[in-house]
């Protein structure tokens, strides 16, 4: 639930940044040279918005995978803890004198 709230707030921030960048002037055009494509006159505000969006989505996906990994580890540790607790309870319930007098020769 916490991650959903964070995602909603990030989307709201991105929407606000997008509307704020709509007021940028015409002088804010730059040349962008990507490996696979070149842009002659790209607005600086859209470059900032795009990089911010990619960074936020990357961070969000990283956080989601981290939380899912931690939850699966917690689940496996809880199962292991339950098994060890059951084994300990079984060992506690074994009769106390069950193996005291057992020797190889049968003598006491």
Q: Is there a contact between 41 and 30 (Cβ–Cβ < 8 Å)?
A: yes
Q: Over the stretch 49-105, which tens digit does the pLDDT of each residue have?
A: 788 889 889 999 999 999 999 999 999 999 999 999 999 988 888 766 555 555 665
Q: Is there a contact between 60 and 7 (Cβ–Cβ < 8 Å)?
A: yes
pTM of the model: 0.58
Q: What percent of the chain has pLDDT over 90?
A: 29
Instruction: Tell whether the model's pLDDT for residue 34 goes beyond 80.
Output: yes
Q: Average pLDDT over the chain, rounded to whole?
A: 82
Instruction: Tell whether the model's pLDDT for residue 3 goes beyond 60.
Output: yes
């Amino acid at each position: 639930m916490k991650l959903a709230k964070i995602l909603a707030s990030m989307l709201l921030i991105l929407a606000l940044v997008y509307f704020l960048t709509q007021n940028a002037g015409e002088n804010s055009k730059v040349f962008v040279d990507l490996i696979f494509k070149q842009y002659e006159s790209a607005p600086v505000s859209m470059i900032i918005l795009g990089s911010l969006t990619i960074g936020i989505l990357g961070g969000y996906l990283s956080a989601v995978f981290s939380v899912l990994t931690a939850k699966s580890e917690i689940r496996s540790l809880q199962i292991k803890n339950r098994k060890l607790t059951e084994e300990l309870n079984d060992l506690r319930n074994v009769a106390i004198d069950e193996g005291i007098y057992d020797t190889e020769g049968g003598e006491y």
